[in-house]
Amino acid sequence: MPGPPPILQLKPGHPEKMKGEIDPSSMAVPPSRPAKIKPIHAVKCEDGLVRPPWAVTDLLLRNYYDTEWGVPVRDERGLFERLSLEAFQSGLSWVTILRKREAFRRAFKQFDPDIVAAFDEADIERLMADPGIVRNRAKVLATIQNAQATVRLRDQGGLAAFIWSFQPSTTPAPKTMADVPTTSAESLMLSKALRENGFTFVGPTTLYALMEATGIVDTHLIESHRRGSSGVWAS
């Protein structure tokens, strides 16, 4: 017959443990990983120009910042495209959307609202099978719905005039990224107004990003070489 189980020898100061029980104090505890801190200060680049930190991490972002971000967009198709891409960007990085932008344009027929408004189930299935875009069914359906709403909005002067009517009387003057708002009273009102007109995926944060990107507000950092470049706001 087997003998009695061996007596567990405990070190002084250790509470008594049942056989097989793991002593937590004997386990190696990995060091906690410090939270990644996002840079907030303007960056002077090798070309001597100052840019925000988000625009210096990728050449595609840098070119977008230097040539397009913050430039006024006042036409229907251009604003419908930007509104659609901002919606697709939700939960993703903007550089991901930029890398897929040409594929988005092909898939959504250059974001012509009249064509997109007429998309049917076959078009939806085509889009959901397209690896070049973000294949999120809710966002695809929202883009079609927003195209239909854009066409209807022509009776009120059109999408461009509607969105620009929410331009604020002043614009932020951020020294660092910490000073840049993510929403505003105007983006909240615009969100409500667009929803009332049949748009979806138009939350106030998404719309504030749209307002920044299309020159409706100027959130270029004060030191940035692009501050005031829109012609809408003084530098």
Euclidean distance between CA atoms 166 and 181, whole angstroms: 16
Quote the tokens at residue 168. Answer: 């604020």
Q: Given the residues 54, 65, 69, 94, select the one marked as catalytic.
A: 94
Q: Is 102 one of the annotated active-site residues of the chain?
A: no
Q: Is 65 one of the annotated active-site residues of the chain?
A: no
Q: Which of 167, 114, 214, 210 is nearest to 202 (CA)?
A: 210
Euclidean distance between CA atoms 75 and 192, whole angstroms: 21
Q: Is 94 one of the annotated active-site residues of the chain?
A: yes
Q: Are 149 and 199 in contact (CB under 8 A)?
A: yes
Q: Given the residues 81, 86, 186, 212, select the one marked as catalytic.
A: 86
Which residue's structure tokens are 């625009």?
55
Euclidean distance between CA atoms 201 and 189, whole angstroms: 15
Q: Which of 103, 109, 104, 141 is nearest to 125 (CA)?
A: 141
Residues acting as catalytic residues: 64, 86, 94
